[in-house]
A = this chain, B = another copy of it.
C-alpha cells in the first residue's frame, strides 16, 4: 500500500513571485526516502479562506498534509489562530516553548517583547514539534485518518524540524513501502538523442519502472523510478536497467548518482590527489563559489584569481599587454596565459581559466555575446576550447560555469585515468 501526501505552502510572497519556494522540494525529498509520495503541492496566500479551502480538499485525499509558512510574530501571519479554530481548540501558551523562545532572545541580546509571547502559543489539541533553531514551533494534528503538520516557513528551521521531529515519527507510522530513484547524469548529448539511443531499453522497461528525462543547463539527467513493498527486488530491477543505459551511453555518462558537476569534479580531484586553481574573468568567481560550496574543498582547491579588469590580468596573471591589445581579453592567447600563470602563482596541479562576453554589453563585430574561451593546463599540457552560448547574462554564466566544470572532469579523465 502506498502513502500519499499533499504539501500546502502559505504566503502572499509566493503568489506575487517575490519568493521562490524551496521548502516543498526539501520536504518531498525527505518523504520519498520514507516511501511516501507527494501527489500535489499547493501554494496559497495569507488568507483564511484559502487556507481552510486547501485543508478541506486535501485532508480527505491524503495520509499526510504539510503546511509551511504563516507562523511568524507579525500581523500578517494568520496560520496558527486559524489552525487552532479549524481543529476546534484554543491557543494556549506552551511553557516549554516559552522558555525556549526567551532563551533565544536572551542569546541574541534582544529584549523579549509582549508580541513574542504569541510565538509560544500553540493550539491545545496539537502535539508540539520542537523548533531548536527558531521561535515558531511546529505542530502535529490528527483528524479523519490524516496527519496534518504545520511548520514555519524559514527554510533552515523547517528543515531541522522535519529531520529531527517529523521524519522519525512518520517512519515509525508508515512502514513497508519504498520508492527508489536512480539518476544518471549525462553531459554533451541532447534529450532527443538520448531517447533515440536508448529506445529499445526504454520500450522494454517493465511497467513498474518509470524513466524520466530532466534537461538542465548543460546536462540531462535520466531518472529511473520504481516503488513497491519488495525493496531488494525493486532496487535490483532498477539497477539492471541503469547499467544497460550506462553501457549504451558510455562517455556521455558523467555520474551514476544525482550529484552536481562540482561534486563530480571534487571526487575526481580527490581520487587522483590533484589540486586545482582558477583564473576567472567573465564568470566572476562563480566556478570558485560552486567548488567551495562543498565541505572539505580546501583539500584540493587552492583559490581563484578573479581578474575582472584587464589590468588584473596583466598584473597578477602576467597576460601580455600586447596580447590584450591585439588578440583581446576574450581570446585563446589570453586564456592560455591566464591558466598557465594562474597554475604557477596559485601552485596547483591543474588550473583552468575563463574569459568571455556574457552580455548584454561588451560585444564587438568579431566577438558576439556568448563567446567564451577557456584553457586548462597541468605542468605538461595546455588545452584550449571556444564556446558559444546564446542566452542572457545569468544563463550564459550558468552554462559557462558548467562547461568549465565539465572541462576539468574530462581533462582529468583523459590525462590521469
CB-CB under 8 A from A306, the residues of chain B are: 278, 285, 288, 292, 303-306
* A213/B74 contact (C-beta < 8 A), A156-B392, A284-B292, A298-B308 known: yes
Q: Is the CB of B308 within 8 A of A301?
A: yes
Q: Is the CB of A3 closer than 8 A to any CB of chain B?
A: no
Q: Which of B17, B32, B309 contacts A298 (CB 8 A)?
A: B309
Contacts of A156 in B (CB 8 A): 391-392, 395
Inter-subunit contact B308/A303 (CB<8 Å):
yes
Whether the pair B16, A29 counts as a contact (CB closer than 8 A) is yes
Which of A215, A285, A287, A346 lies at the interface centre, i.e. has the most chain B CB atoms within 10 A of its CB?
A285
Known A-B contacts A18-B214, A22-B20, A75-B211; the reply to A308 vs B315 at CB < 8 A is no
Q: In the complex, which of the residues B38, B42, B193, B308 contacts A41, with contact meaning CB atoms closer than 8 Å?
A: B42
Report whether A16 and B41 are in contact in the complex, using a CB–CB cutoff of 8 Å: no
Within 8 Å by CB of A17, from B27, B215, B293, B391, lies B27
Contact of A72 among B17, B210, B215, B295 (CB under 8 A): B215
Which of B26, B42, B286 has a CB less than 8 Å from the CB of A285? B286
- Scan A20-35; emit 1 where CB is below 8 A from any B CB, else 0: 1110111111101000
**A308 x B292 contact (CB < 8 A):** yes
Which A381-415 residues sit within 8 Å CB-CB of chain B? 390-395, 397
For chain A, the count of residues having a C-beta within 8 Å of the partner chain is 106
The segment from A43-51, A318-326, A332-340 found at the interface with B is A43-51
Interface presence of A73 (CB below 8 A): yes
Q: In the bound complex, do residue A16 and residue B42 qualify as a contact, i.e. CB atoms below 8 Å apart? A: no
A361 at the interface (CB under 8 A from B): yes
Chain B residues near A22 (CB, 8 Å)?
Answer: 20
Q: Contact: B308 with A73, CB < 8 Å? A: no
A38, B26: Cβ atoms closer than 8 Å: no
On chain B, the residues within 8 Å of A215 by CB distance are 72, 154
